[in-house]
Amino acid sequence: MLFTTNTENTANINKTSKKDLLSKNGKSKSNKKKGKEIVTSEENGNPPELALKNSKPEIAEKSFKSKKIKDKDEKNTVGSRPKSKRKDYEGKQNDENEDNTLIVKSPKTKKQKVENDALKPGIDNNIITNDTATTSQFIEIETEEIPDNLKLSSYRITQTTADSLKKRGIESLFPIQAATFDIIYDGKDILARAKTGTGKTLAFALPITEVLLKSYENGGLKNGQRGRAPKVIIMTPTRDLAKQISSEFESIAPNLKILCIYGGVAYDFQTQGLRSGIDVLIGTPGRILDHIDRGNLKLGDLKFICLDEADQMLDIGFAEAMETVLQHVKHHKENQNKGIDYQTLLFSATVPDWVKNTVKKYLRTDYVNVDLTKDTNTKTNENIRHIAIRSAWSSRKDIIGDVVTCYAGSGSCVIFCNTKNDANELVLNDKLKQDARVLHGDIVQTQREITMRDFRDGKFKCIICTDVLARGIDIPQVDLVINCEPPKDIDSYVHRAGRTARAGRQGIALTFFKAQEENRIWNIQRCIGVSFQIVGPPQPQEIIAATANDAVKILESVESNVLPYFHSTAKELIESQGAIGALSAALAYISGYSGGIKKRSLMSADEGYTTLLFRFTYPIRHTSYARSIFKKHFPDLPEDAVKRFSMTKDMQGVVCDISTQYLETGEDECLVLAGRQWYDTATTTLEVAKELPELLQINKVFDRNDGEYGNGYGNGYGNNGYRNGYGNKNNSNKWKSFNRNGNGKSNGYNRFRGNGGM
């Protein structure tokens, strides 16, 4: 199968298949040895057959695919390498694209037929090629062998660089790295898009490094000369991302001189580095321009200009600086009588339509557009679980510590705030029991570096930040990302969520939202192709379950030589509270819940409210049906004691919040509301909700022609001109007027309820 690009110079990239290869040899017994499954045939004493399994190649570092085997009379022989090193892009064009797009599709697998000669002594049994294929005998292949299109040896990577990669545990390329290496190496401009956490930094760092090393070896460029101008400039929107890219280059190219420059620090060290001569310059546009204006930075020898997070770099705020840098490049090259011969590389996880139009002024006309997201429904990493919790802003800061406790597990957590003030306030919140530090643009650079280093080293669990950490920053072991409120735009959500589930790990992106922000959640869901799970805040049983094990580990870590000093006190506690009571109190204190755990609403996270769930054996039309039940059975219940009525998705249930002071538990665990006990019937039940059921989404779109939604004050928009809707012309009954501020529904069917409404 081929990856194709419909540019004037068509680029096709071979792709391996991934279906399981099936054995056609009757019954077999299997044994596993060194990652291979040995299948022993029971027919006619045939020799053992190798069974090498394919696994889903979502992450290249650990993905294993099988190679398609063609008929016996084709060209390859046993043990032969693939014919092409992928230097040339040949093959058929599978996708017709008008925007020079290289679409990398999900691999498909093929069945393989292999004769028994493949198992003969002296033959590499892991390489099955055409000469070994017959129809007489079949071998089911299942291997941990890296597919050819992801092997380091399939690309023009020097042994020194390959050794550096292997020291970091990198044995193969990720899909974005494989798709872009040859394009960059062969001198093409590129616009590349891939999901967060899939290795975009190495995708441009690796081919750039190899091109420079090759030029130095061939004498085309001077290496080691003092005062030499940089051959590469990489610009990023943030200082933290610049430092990360610098570290990536240093790890794979120790022989190249790398310099990272950014604001917030003194110029002296940066100036000295530029004067001594460098190969690769990485930095933020503002500081790069400062050094150009000071005469410290010469751009006449430039071979590569790379923009990481290209959409942000080309947006307002950076676009002017970008344009100025490029004008300086042109001016410096003209002064040295050198042509404008540099490559431009643009990488990002999000590429809005306006970016595709803007890049035309920066890229050559034959640039290649590589998009690894175009063939997928989702714009984020598939390993991310998306969760949303409805809560008022006032209660959000009180429950965030419990959310981290229940969802972060033993991993780290990144909490995003929309403003610096919100981040500063949250880090001081005593309800956030985990050790946390803050990071945003007002933090001095030295402290930012210390904070990031300690966070990577696991010295604290939570980092509270603004969007300064939303783009590009690779922090391992982040299992949870929290948005304190929905981001301002879709791309921001994609980048924030992308801080978790990196390099094959699983992760959770959790977003708090107010009732009036619900449409923003559905908009994100629709635009990026994900499904949000709406849940309630952690409940006492969940919190205790999440913290109890940690508390036990703390007790187990206590040195035994100190225990005798507490024996007498422990005996007194056991005598007064009992062994279980005393130990439970100790565990509660260690867990940070000695003051108790207050119940919260599953719908709003408000303290002092409990969420109730009505269940019916038949569908109902509106939540007012549940309101009428409260009015009929609990006349002493105040009208403001119950609120937030919502219909379940199956329309056979209603959830609502009741003030906890009016709720008690009677005999046989029956509910008592305002002094009256509730009794379930054959068709209707009422219980305390243990978790939030899936609710009917009634606020996604407001359409005048829908007939489903009113404006909340009656006069709902109905496609057949029905009556005024709920909330208008109601009598003075407290339950019938309760919905005056809610969404009106204009069906006009409830004539028996009153004049045009319930």
Residue 376 located in a structural domain: no
pLDDT, one tens digit per residue, over 255-300 is 899 999 999 899 999 999 999 999 999 999 999 999 999 999 999 9
Identify the helix (H) or strand (E) that includes residue 193: strand 190-193
- Say if residues 34 and 72 touch (Cβ distance below 8 Å): no
C-alpha 396/C-alpha 669 separation (Å) is: 31
SS3 709: coil
Residues 579 and 468 both lie in one domain: no
What stretches of 410-477 adopt beta strand conformation (E)? 412-416, 436-439, 462-465
Helices H, strands E: what count in the chain? 17, 27
**Shared domain check, 397 and 356:** no
- What are φ and ψ of residue 312, in 5° steps? -75, -35
In a domain, 377, yes or no: no
Q: Of the candidates 538, 555, 582, which is a domain's last residue?
A: 538
Rounded-to-integer distance, Cα 708 and Cα 517, Å: 19
Do residue 625 and residue 508 come from a single domain? no
Q: Which of 526, 558, 591 is the last residue of a domain?
A: 591
Residues 178 and 313 in one domain: yes
For residue 99, what pLDDT is reported?
Answer: 52
**Which residues neighbour 295 within 8 Å (Cβ) at sequence distance 6 or greater?**
none
Residue 758 lies in a domain: no
pLDDT, residue 66, reads 38
Identify the pLDDT of residue 242. Answer: 94
Residues 665 and 716 placed together within one structural domain of the fold: yes
**Torsion angle of the four alpha carbons 475, 476, 480, 484, in this order, in degrees rounded to the nearest 10:** 0
Total structural domains in the chain? 5
Q: Write out the H or E segment, with its range, that includes residue 523.
A: helix 518-528
> Is residue 279 exposed (0-12), middle (13-18) or buried (19+ Cβ within 10 Å)?
buried
CATH number at residue 475: 3.40.50.300
- Residue in this structure with the two tokens 């071998």, named with its chain if needed: 139
pLDDT at 424: 93
End of a domain among 122, 147, 172?
A: 147
Instruction: Determine contact, residues 346/311, Cβ cutoff 8 Å.
Output: no
Residues 435 and 347 in one domain: no
pLDDT tens column, 362-390: 899 999 999 998 766 677 888 999 999 99
Domain membership of residue 137 (yes or no) is yes
Distant-in-sequence, close-in-space partners of 169: CB < 8 Å, separation ≥ 6:
61
SS3 301: coil
Which tokens belong to 56?
């889903």
Kindly state whether residues 319 and 458 are assigned to the same domain.
no
Residue-level pLDDT at 368: 95
Strands 671-673 and 676-677: antiparallel
Domain containing 195 equals 159-371
692 occurs within a structural domain: yes
pLDDT at residue number 665: 85
Is 478 within the bounds of a domain? yes
| Buried residues in 718-731 as b, exposed as e (16+ CB within 10 A) | beeebbbbbbbebe
Are 617 and 680 found together in one domain?
Answer: yes
> What is the C-alpha to C-alpha distance for residues 646 and 649, in angstroms, rounded to an integer?
9
Alpha-carbon gap, residue 27 to 355, rounded angstroms: 57
Burial class from Cβ neighbours inside 10 Å (0-12, 13-18, 19+) for residue 319 reads: middle
Please identify every stretch of the chain with a pLDDT value under 50, giving residue numbers as ranges: 1-96, 98, 105-143, 699-758
Taking the C-alpha atoms of residue 598 and residue 607, their distance in angstroms, rounded to an integer, is 7
223 and 136: one domain?
A: no
User: How far apart (Å, rounded) are the C-alpha atoms in residues 541 and 504?
Assistant: 31
Residue 148 parent element (H or E): none
**pTM, whole model, 2 decimals?**
0.62
Q: Looking at the structure, do residues 180 and 260 belong to the same domain, yes or no?
A: yes
The answer to whether position 47 is within a domain reads: yes
Cα angle, residue 522 at apex, residues 520 and 528 outer, rounded to 5°: 100
Same domain, 275 and 210: yes
Same domain, residue pair 530 and 551? no
pLDDT for the residue 184: 97
> Is 701 within the bounds of a domain?
yes
